[in-house]
Structure 1
Amino acid sequence: MTDDIDALQERIDEVRAEIGTQIVGQREIIDQLLVCVLAGGNALLESNPGLGKTSMVRALAAASDLSFSRVQNTPDLMPSDITGTEIIRERESGRDFVFEEGPIFANVVLADEINRATPKTQAAMLEAMQEQQVTAAGETHALPEPFFVLATQNPIDQEGTYPLPEAQTDRFLMKIVVDYPAADEEREIVRRYTGDVRPESVERVLSGDDVREIQSLVREVPIADDLRDRAIDLVRATREADDIEYGASPRASMALVTTAKARAFLAGRAHVSWEDVEAMARPVLRHRIRLDFRAEREGLTTDEAVGALLEGA
């Protein structure tokens, strides 16, 4: 069994390497994305345009041999455009209603600029994320396993958008913030993608069955009772901090422990350390807390608020 675990951990390293053939740098972001997948959750990716979010997610799907679909959210997008709809199809016996699957029926779904879709369409997407199924014309259709939604939103150009309510952003296991590359990384990006030699295609390293097996193994990664209690106390502290108006729910406590386990597995360790909890605190909590007016006026960010709580944890 240990040999099997070691082999799977090595293949995860190979997945990281395959993504690296398409994406320059962004090691921490790739690791956070892998943690989200291993923990069996959905991620909200926030960054300015042109930072390779789509390429990163597509490479992850290809390296894991998972089906991929992309939804470009716009204000005129209808829920049925995502989930699917019944159509009339001609058969020898006559006409019949057939369910035509929408792009949500893929292992990895990239919901690009989810905040540009209307609340009704956002709700349809988030319901599929939560229930892992779609209901149409009174019939329930199961989504493929494994299933991940990786939604993106831009922090700029908010005119005409529909920001996700806190109750809906809480459904995302993590919020991953993608920053601009370093100067040397940007030079490599330009060199790589403006020359005659194109990057090699991504090779399949894992399978869908492998991903499901790893998700089961992640749940079994041990965490000491006192460490789990510290993680829970950290989340509870968000509800008592003076500069936080709304704190995180128990769902955040579960997410913090689960992602810490996934990070430990990703690092090849057999148990969770406090370092794992610290590393996952900001991605897990930054979208689950709301600062009060005074803190926002002073320019405090949610990451800084979480950092202050970590210092006292």
Structure 2
Amino acid sequence: MEKVRRKPRLKSGHWFVILALAPIIILYAVLRFIPIVQTMYISFFEWDLISAHKPFVWLDNFKELFSSDTFIQSIRNTSLIAFGVLIFSVPFAVIIAAMLDRGVRFKSWFESLYFLPYIMPMVPVAVAWRWILDSNHGLLNYFLSFFGVPAQAWLIDTNLAIFSVVMLTVWKMVGYNMIIFLVGMKGISKENYEAASIDGATGIKAFWHITLPLLKPITVFVSTVTLIQGYNVFSQVYILASDIQGAPGHLVRVLVYDMIESGFRFYKMGYAAAEAVILFLIVLVLTALQLMLLRDKKTSRKGMKR
């Protein structure tokens, strides 16, 4: 006679975990998932904060977005900032982590020094950087004058203002990325380096052929987080990139600022919701591409081992 298969039952320990996580999951759903669904719903309506009548317009908000020069400029500036932060922040973090992993003196002090900017609030940091980058009396231009570099309009020229935002964001995020990479380097077995040293791979060669390949999963995680934060940039742009008349955020217009202005200044909440959906899709696609890249590398490794 065939044995009757019994369905696996949850043990008491599993129920404890589920009940313990339930309040957090519910809170996360209320604060994250439900607002995302509501934003997608509002993006299909001509929704404002005044009138009770909110007609269904289907994709008209999205058509208006891509025909708007302001939105295209916001996407361009936001992408430049996000990928600029990614290009500078991740390599700097890897190099600093590699230097600290070799066992320098006062290592904990250096770790705290690099990580301190990340935990500092953005607004006072941006105000301090605004003084540093001032065209007339800023410390950066004063420092560059010793090398014969003329004073630069860091907060007046649009291209330099974008670079200034990238510079500030990299300075603030590199400590967090450095800590993540440092933890990953601690997890690499020393046997790998000992085996490589037998073949003559030491120093930079060992770092290039052992450390970096084994850090690829962490690199994908750090790159994803960096891109997400880069596309959500707002406070530093709002404070640093003011135009000549002092209007905040107008010199370097980014997507989050354009979204807030459309929704709460012009009361075009459906239009702003459509912008939020586009931002969500951009981040989702970039994250998916990085995860696919990591998966392809894993499958190729398995094929080589076979």
Please, what TM-score do these two structures have when normalized by structure 1? Answer: 0.25
Structure richer in helix, relative to its length? 2
Larger relative contact order (Cα-Cα within 8 Å, sequence gap ≥ 6):
2
Structure richer in strand, relative to its length? 1
Higher Cα Rg: structure 1 or 2?
2
